[in-house]
């Protein structure tokens, strides 16, 4: 995977933008210009990597300090999403909590796809540092890493994440023609490969994200027609796990029947969601409607959770 490009986002007038480079973390901090300290959100990208400035800037316009955090795919960080240390993201949480504009006791994490997997994992691993989670198109387990050359996963997959120097247990996709097609520049849905991986009960049990350890509310958002991975099925598994452990905090799953893996910011074009080599699923109208409905609900959720 090539290093992701990170276009600079123009901040709203009431938001200050501050690049974070040259230290232990890489990202961009967006802070409201109103008096703080503010509740804060760490925003995590998915498998595209880079710095997710769009969501962070929009959150800052709603009164949050928002750190768009890169964890691979930019200069100074790993080039591929393979065995990323969770301690790196913990360092970002600690750095954010120490900023004078931030209320260090009110920090949430938000991510989509692999970023949602990481968000849930971080909150479960470091419950003292995270007050709430918003996970778009999430996972219920740790999955294999995504090397620059996808064929490497045929020769021996590795975990996406490590903790204390050890790779976390992970689930491998069921390698089928669906994984090979994108390499041949044909349009393909990868969801069947992930569904196949979830049939490995032993691997799923070992790699399940212990979401019940989270100490705060959890909001999950998925599209029922997701053709990249079965996010609705996995979100339901997270909710089931929380219910089985009598999770004492609010936990909610917003599932949109006509949306797929293209869940993102509202009011952006959705007509190209299935034009690439990897299909995202859902209809343009269904995805646009889901984005317009889910984003304000996510903002309200964060306002209530970090109140």
CATH number at residue 40: 3.40.50.1820
Domain contains 183: yes
- In this prediction, residue 21 carries a pLDDT of 85
- In this prediction, residue 303 carries a pLDDT of 98
Q: Which has more confidence, 111 or 1? A: 111
pLDDT at 124 over 70: yes
- For the chain, give percent helix, strand, coil, nearest 5: 30, 25, 45
Domain contains 2: no
Query: Phi, psi at residue 71, to the nearest 5°?
Result: -130, -5
Q: Which has more confidence, 47 or 182? A: 47
Q: Among residues 236, 211, 232, which one has the least CA distance to residue 290? A: 232
Compute the mean pLDDT over every residue in the chain, rounded to the nearest whole number: 92
Q: What is the mean pLDDT of residues 3-24?
A: 71
- In this prediction, residue 148 carries a pLDDT of 79
Domain contains 293: yes
Which band of pLDDT confidence, cut at 50, 70 and 90, is reported for residue 285? Answer: very high
- In this prediction, residue 177 carries a pLDDT of 59
- In this prediction, residue 2 carries a pLDDT of 36
The encoded tokens of residue 96 equal 């954010």
Q: What is the mean pLDDT of residues 242-268?
A: 96
Find out whether 293 and 263 touch, Cβ atoms under 8 Å.
Answer: no
pTM: 0.93
94-98, 140-144, 271-275: least confident range: 271-275
- In this prediction, residue 3 carries a pLDDT of 40
Q: Structurally, how many domains does the chain consist of?
A: 1
- In this prediction, residue 234 carries a pLDDT of 98
pLDDT at 164 over 70: yes
Q: Among residues 110, 112, 114, which one has the least CA distance to residue 92? A: 110
Distance CA 9, CA 228 (A): 27
Domain contains 245: yes
Range of the domain at 270: 15-305
Q: What is the mean pLDDT of residues 71-86?
A: 95
pLDDT at 147 over 80: yes
Q: What is the mean pLDDT of residues 150-169?
A: 87
pLDDT at 175 over 70: no
Query: Phi, psi at residue 91, to the nearest 5°?
Result: -60, -35
177 contact partners, CB below 8 Å, separation of at least 6: none
Domain contains 69: yes
Which band of pLDDT confidence, cut at 50, 70 and 90, is reported for residue 150? Answer: low
Which band of pLDDT confidence, cut at 50, 70 and 90, is reported for residue 297? Answer: very high
- In this prediction, residue 240 carries a pLDDT of 98
CA 293 to chain centre: 19
| CA trace torsion 235, 240, 243, 249 (10° rounding) | -10
pLDDT at 11 over 70: no
For helices 86-97 and 114-125, the axis angle rounded to 10 degrees is 70
- In this prediction, residue 9 carries a pLDDT of 53
Domain contains 228: yes
Which band of pLDDT confidence, cut at 50, 70 and 90, is reported for residue 1? Answer: very low
Q: What is the mean pLDDT of residues 146-170?
A: 87
Domain contains 9: no
Residue 272's CB: how many other CB atoms inside 10 A? 10
Q: Which H helix or E strand runs over 16?
A: strand 15-20
The encoded tokens of residue 18 equal 């501050």
Domain contains 1: no
- In this prediction, residue 5 carries a pLDDT of 43
């Amino acid at each position: 995977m090539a290093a992701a490009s990170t276009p600079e986002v123009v901040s709203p007038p009431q938001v200050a933008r501050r690049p974070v480079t040259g230290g232990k973390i890489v990202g961009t901090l967006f802070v409201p210009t109103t008096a703080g300290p503010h509740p804060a959100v760490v925003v995590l990208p998915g498998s595209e990597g880079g710095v997710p400035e769009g969501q962070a800037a929009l959150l800052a316009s709603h009164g949050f300090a928002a750190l768009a955090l890169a964890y691979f795919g930019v200069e100074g960080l790993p080039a591929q999403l393979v065995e990323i240390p969770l301690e790196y993201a913990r360092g970002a949480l600690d750095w954010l909590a120490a900023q004078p504009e931030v209320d260090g006791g009110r920090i949430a994490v938000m991510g989509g796809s692999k970023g949602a997997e990481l968000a849930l994992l971080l909150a479960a691993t470091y419950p003292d540092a995270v007050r709430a989670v918003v996970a778009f198109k999430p996972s219920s387990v740790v999955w294999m890493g995504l090397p620059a050359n996808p064929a490497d996963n045929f020769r021996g997959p590795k975990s996406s994440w490590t903790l204390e120097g050890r790779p976390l247990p992970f689930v491998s996709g069921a390698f089928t023609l669906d994984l090979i097609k994108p390499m041949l520049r044909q349009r393909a849905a990868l969801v069947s490969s992930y569904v196949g991986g979830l049939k490995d009960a032993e691997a799923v049990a070992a790699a399940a994200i212990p979401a019940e350890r989270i100490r705060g509310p959890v909001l999950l958002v998925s599209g029922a027609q997701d053709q990249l991975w079965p996010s609705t099925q996995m979100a339901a598994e997270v909710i089931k796990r929380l219910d089985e452990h009598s999770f004492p905090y609010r936990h909610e799953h917003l599932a949109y029947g006509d949306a797929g893996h293209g869940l993102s910011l509202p009011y952006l074009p959705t007509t190209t969601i299935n034009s690439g080599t990897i299909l995202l699923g859902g209809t343009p109208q269904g995805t646009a409607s889901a984005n317009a409905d889910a984003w304000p609900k996510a903002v309200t959720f964060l306002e209530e959770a970090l109140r």
